[in-house]
Amino acid sequence: MSFALANTIGAVFAAPVRWLAASIDAPLRLWQRLTGKGGMIAFFLMPNIIVFGTFVIIPLFINFAYSVTGGNELFLTDRSFVGTQHFDRLLTCDNHFDPSSCRDDLFWTAVWNTARFVVVQVTTIAIVAMGTALILNSKIPARGFWRAVFFFPVLLSPVVVGLIWRWILQRQGLLNFVMIEMDLTPVNWLIERDWAFVAAVGVSVWAHVGFYALILLAGLQAIPRDLYEAAEMDGTRPARVFFRITLPLLWPNLLVVIVLALIRAVQIFDEVYVLTGGGPGTSTLYLTQYIYEIGFASILRNPGLASAASLMMGGVLIVLTLGQLGLQRWRDRA
Amino acid sequence: MSRIATFLTRRRGDGGRWHWTDVVTWLWLGAGLILMFGPAIWLVLSSFKTPAQLAEFPPTILPYVSETVAVTLNGETRNLPLYDVILSDGSADQLAELRRVGTVAQMIDPADPETVIKVPITDRRPVREVGFAWDNYLKPLEAFNFGQYLYNSVFVTVTATIITLITNSMAAFALSKYEFRGRNAVLLIIVATLMIPLSVNLVPLYSVISTLGLQNTLWGVILPTVATPTGVFLLRQYMLTIPDELIEAARMDKASEWQIYYRIVLPLTAPALAVLAIFSVVWRWNDFLWPLIVLSRKELFTLQVGLNTFAGELNVQWHYILAMTVATMIPVVIVFVFLQRFITTGIAGTGLK
Amino acid sequence: MKRTAYRLTIAAAMAAIMAASPALAEEVRIMWYSDGNEGEVMQDLLDRFMADNKDITVVLDNVSYQVVQEQLPISLAAGEGPDIARVTNLKAQAEHWLDLTPYVADPEYWRANFGGQADWMRPDGSDAITGFMTQLTVTGGFANKTLYEQAGVEIPGPDASWDEVVAAADQVAKSQGLIAAFALDRSGHRLSGPAVSFGANFIADDGMPAPVDDGVKAFVSRMVQWTEEGKNLKDVWVSAAGSTYRAAADDFINAQIPYYYSGSWQIANLATKIGNGFDWVATGSPCGGAACSGMAGGAGLLAVKYTKVPEAVGKVMDYLGSAEIVKEFSERTLFLPAHKGVVEAGNLDFQSDDPNVKAALSAFVAASGKIAPNASALSAWKWANAYYGALVTRTSQAMAGELTLDDAYARMNDDIAEQVKQAGQ
């Protein structure tokens, strides 16, 4: 029923789009004759490039300009050139693995917290998404409903996600109430260091796992059924089927999941910020929060330092992505 | 009936035996149901609680209000709160509280309002009934220009989504169906900018908006969001699967490049466009930080910015925030309920590889 | 400077156009945030103003405090912004406020009644009139009288020391099985009053930040120790990184802690949420070795320099700053007024049925007289926020066990020095 509905909606939208598109065909034909294919490529790319250039590339350059200027002023003309001062401050450490030996201890605390978070969160997402996808792909009743159940949190805004879980996990929250009712000792989830980390990972997994599970589900459904039937005839054990058939064929999708989850995990901010505020102490202080507070939220802001930190973070992410692209190319060739 | 029963208890093992994978499956699904929906239900129930009840511990699952009783005292009728009381002789009774002085409550029996009974406050518990604090919803809806905010949110969401679909699909078409110098460079830049979260780029972006005079306009909210690299990336990956032969054949028939784009490629990309549209709607609807920076005039507020006005410096009026959060979630949930199948199968179908 | 000149030209051109066109209603925008009902009260007052002044439309933009803290500074830096704004960060943004002297009806009235706080909101050495405080706040303690009675513990008197207050609260907490003895909001401003009571002085002779002294150390080390001993409610301070503000009001409202150090702005909040739950009293600030000081503070209503309608802004400010409006606003919002005439007349009739409220308000008025000079100087000091930020960030890390006290003090000094260095560039 919803497909029919969607098709109707699609048709309703498509009609005016077609009409509009047809009405500008004549001038575009002229443009094509005058400028050839190159002109058309430019035409197709232009709207995106204009928007992209104005709102992504230019701010990036401004960001760079911030990182080499000092002061609290927000407008570039009011700032003075300080060279690599901010980078020096961020990078000065006796031992980079020990934040307390660094000039900017909070930055390095955030770096190592983020690294730990990324490893644990991405692994958890991959495992939970895989489990969910396998189960959603098996013969269960009301599959559509269960798909919706796991996908639902993806629709919520990160702020709401953080808020809901804060109300559940705080000392006087729902979870502790349930634990008291069950005669268990309540735990101060957001104040105990280890539990707060678990909470940060768990809540971000909760919010995103449905999306990744669906990507994996798509991959599972694309695996030819006869492969499984053949395996069943041979009496192959389920675990062996998973490792010999499912996992290798699902690998492209799993890679997409890992890369997307990785990028998101490095940028983790809103939900954890609302949930723990970076606490207890600084144990869930992550890079984006550090940058946001230094450059923006604190009363005496230091945009230069924040920009330097964000450029370094962007650099790391680009290396990670290039790594992924390389991996994909290598896989395509293999 | 029996068919439903068979349907519900259908499992992998033959002959009705439970295989261990069935147990795992149903445990997983059950836990998923509680974990995924539970918090949202808790949010909805909490949004009906009074401020005092929200701060209360232990919390109650359902919202309650104290029961009161009308008592006429010295010719004056007052509503007094009712309490379950254990009297000094150990018997239980229901009394109305007149006033409380320190640790002692002065209580009266509603049937006999003349006699004041003194009860230690530890021996009384309020009588409460389930009741919804509709005021959490009604007061903000009056004070806060909900209609205007809703309009702004819808305008931002719809416009941004339409522009996103047009610009991203055009760019994706050029990047997937033409060979040209610098194509890989463009792609790389697009992917690279996927990496930089908005929250670290606010000030530079604001200076651009301010230079263009777009601060305090809805366009200032819309335009920076439409160049989503994710959209270009997703559509391009999908368009790569459209066979080039189709396009070549159209060129033979003297179709213009523009016609190829809108008559051939665009319809074939419909599933991916639908997914991008849905995500764009969800993202733009939930956008918070950027609209907060651009919009400071109340006639321009979106719902997300509007509901945040209940967060003060020293106090946050949670009861209003929760209620308005639920109210702003409703449209997304409705979209989801109707298009759920389409959304979930759509993502599965985009061949995100 | 160039930008200002450019703005002035535009403004002049605009003014010329405006003058030529038939009289249009001038629009004045006020950026306002609310902790409680003050937005509604303000709207009501403004409606009355507009009924009497048909040529001026005042639009009250209710925003979240986050907008005032994060968005307003950027738009001010860009030479934009509302015409009037309610802000708490008064001094650091002083260069953006408009001097109302030529636009208000009687500058002498303003100097006489709001002069006490004028230095909080103008650049050092200036005699400009830039606005007024919509509310004055004083930090101080609240005690849950009912819990103290149940425990049979006397609430320590006004001259009690911090150690005595905490010891008494601890006795109550132990006997009543509560989660902690006391809580203090996570805020550098809240920490500073007690620190000054222990003899702290943040300001060096040259007006720049002094290194943390023995007074600061005396209170910070006590707080950390009280946290370790479970007397100070750990959640409040440990539950965030950086200088994020956290209030502990909910735990006091739930009768989970007998003593809560916050400030006069909590009165309306406590009254609504506690209701008849228990009796509570305001106790002022406990003493250290040097004083029994709290901190003054509050929010101001400031005219913004970039307004295009300064005359209309002057009229609105005159109206809102008039004695009867200040009086009504304070009575309806349960705020302490900053207007000298209103305070001296002393006939405020705060609108609340709650008997605890009036007693608490008078307790805070009394406490405001005990603010030490070192504490009141901070309100008009440019570097106060740098100091507060460092205090919160590092003290909470010490409480969380991430830093030793000595490291925390060293980091505080580094943080402050870094801020000073940045601002000098």
Domain positions in chain B? 2-46, 64-130, 137-349
Q: Does B223 touch chain A (CB under 8 A)?
A: yes
Which of the residue ranges A266-275, B116-125, C270-279 would you say has the lowest mean pLDDT? B116-125
Model pLDDT, residue C323: 94
Nearest to B55 by CA among C95, A102, A173: A173
Domain boundaries, chain A: 2-67, 85-333
Contact A307/C at CB under 8 A: no
Subunit contact B329:A221, Cβ cutoff 8 A: no
CB of B205 within 8 Å of a chain C CB? The answer is no
Q: Is the pLDDT of residue A327 over 90?
A: no
* Class level of CATH domain B137-349: mainly alpha
Q: Is A195 on the interface with C (CB under 8 A)?
A: no
Return the structure tokens found at C333. 């919002």
User: Can you give the pTM of this predicted structure?
Assistant: 0.87
The whole-number pLDDT of residue C19 equals 46
- Cβ within 8 Å of residue B92, ≥6 positions away: B84, B85, B86
Closest-CA residue of chain B to C147: B103
Give the homologous superfamily in CATH for domain A85-333.
Answer: MetI-like (1.10.3720.10)
Tokens 């040259």 found at: C206
- Residues of chain B with C-beta less than 8 angstroms from the C-beta of A189: none
Question: Chain B within 8 Å of A286 (Cβ-Cβ)?
Answer: no
Name which of A192, A298, A305 to mutate to probe chain C: the one with the most chain C Cβ atoms within 10 A of its Cβ: A298
When CB atoms are compared, the residue of A5, A150, A155 closest to B32 is A150
* C353: confidence class by pLDDT, cuts 50, 70, 90: confident
The structural domains of chain C, ordered by start, are: 2-135+297-345 (3.40.190.10), 137-296+361-423 (3.40.190.10)
Confidence of residue B143 (pLDDT cuts 50, 70, 90): confident
Neighbours of chain B (3+ CB pairs under 8 A): A, C
* Residue, of B308 and C222, whose pLDDT is higher: C222
Q: Which residues of A fall within a CB distance of 8 Å from C249?
A: none
> Does position B31 have pLDDT exceeding 70, yes or no?
yes
Question: Nearest to residue A37, comparing CAs of B86, B169, B179?
Answer: B179
Q: Per-residue pLDDT averaged across A162-186, rounded?
A: 88
Q: How far is the C-alpha of A287 from the C-alpha of A236, rounded, in Å?
A: 47
Out of B191-195, B272-276, C12-16, which region has the weakest mean confidence (pLDDT)? C12-16
**pLDDT tens digits, residue range C240-299?**
888 888 889 988 998 889 999 999 999 998 998 888 888 999 999 999 999 999 999 999
Residue B13 is predicted with a pLDDT of 46
C158–chain A Cβ distance below 8 A for any pair: no
Dist CA B339 CA C49 (whole Å): 50
Determine whether the interchain pair B42/A168 forms a contact, defined as Cβ–Cβ distance below 8 Å: yes
Q: What mean pLDDT do residues B45-56 have? A: 84
Interchain proximity A52–B227, CB inside 8 Å: yes
CA angle A103, A107, A111 (to 5 degrees): 130
The rounded distance, in Å, linking the Cα atoms of C398 and C217 is 12
**For residue A156, which of B285, B221, B293, B274 has the smallest C-alpha distance?**
B285
More confident residue, C9 or B255: B255
Q: Which H helix or E strand runs over B64?
A: strand B64-66
Residue B273: which H helix or E strand, with range?
Answer: helix B270-286
Q: Is the CB of residue A298 less than 8 Å away from at least one CB of chain C?
A: yes
Question: Does the distance separating the beta carbons of A215 and B352 come in below 8 Å?
Answer: yes
Number of H helices, E strands in chain B: 16, 8
pLDDT of residue A250: 87
pLDDT tens-digit map of A26-82? 898 999 989 888 899 999 999 988 998 898 889 889 999 999 998 888 778 788 899
Annotate B245-258 with b (16+ C-beta within 10 A) or e (fewer).
eebeebeeeebbbb
Q: Is some CB atom of chain B closer than 8 A to the CB atom of A63?
A: yes
pLDDT band at residue A326 under the 50/70/90 scheme: confident
Subunit contact B210:C75, Cβ cutoff 8 A: yes
CA distance C262 to C379: 17
Top-confidence residue, C8 or B68? B68
Q: Give 3-state DSSP helix, strand, coil % of chain A, rounded to 5.
A: 80, 0, 20
Provide the pLDDT for residue B270. 82
Q: What's the pLDDT score for residue C1?
A: 43
Between chain A and chain C, how many beta carbons pairs sit less than 8 Å apart? Answer: 110
Verify whether the Cβ–Cβ distance A282 to C70 is below 8 Å.
no
Question: Does B286 sit within 8 Å of A156, measured CB to CB?
Answer: yes
How distant, in Å, are the alpha carbons of A147, A216, A246, B25 from that of A133?
9, 6, 12, 11
A100 to chain B, closest Cα gap in Å: 24
Nearest Cα neighbor of B276 from B329, B347, B192 is B347
The two beta strands, B104-109 and B112-120, are antiparallel
Q: Which residue has the higher pLDDT, A191 or B141?
A: A191
Q: Which residues of chain A neighbour C243 with C-beta distances below 8 Å?
A: 293, 298
Q: What is the pLDDT of residue B346?
A: 64
Residue that wins the pLDDT comparison between A40 and B106:
A40
DSSP three-state, residue B91: coil
Residue of B nearest to A47 (CA): B167
DSSP per residue, C354-365: -HHHHHHHHHHH
A15: enclosing H helix or E strand:
helix A2-23
Sign of CA dihedral A292, C65, C140, C180: negative
> Cβ of B314 and C247 within 8 Å?
yes
Instruction: Please give the single-letter amino acid code of residue B302.
Output: T
Residue appearing with tokens 């069950």: A182
Residues A116-146 have pLDDT tens digits of 999 999 999 999 999 999 999 888 888 888 8
Interface confidence (ipTM) of the complex: 0.84
- Give me the residues of B, 136-165, that contact A with CB < 8 A: none
281-310 of C, contacting A, C-beta below 8 A: none
Per-residue pLDDT tens over the stretch C379-423: 989 899 999 999 999 999 999 999 999 999 999 999 999 989 888
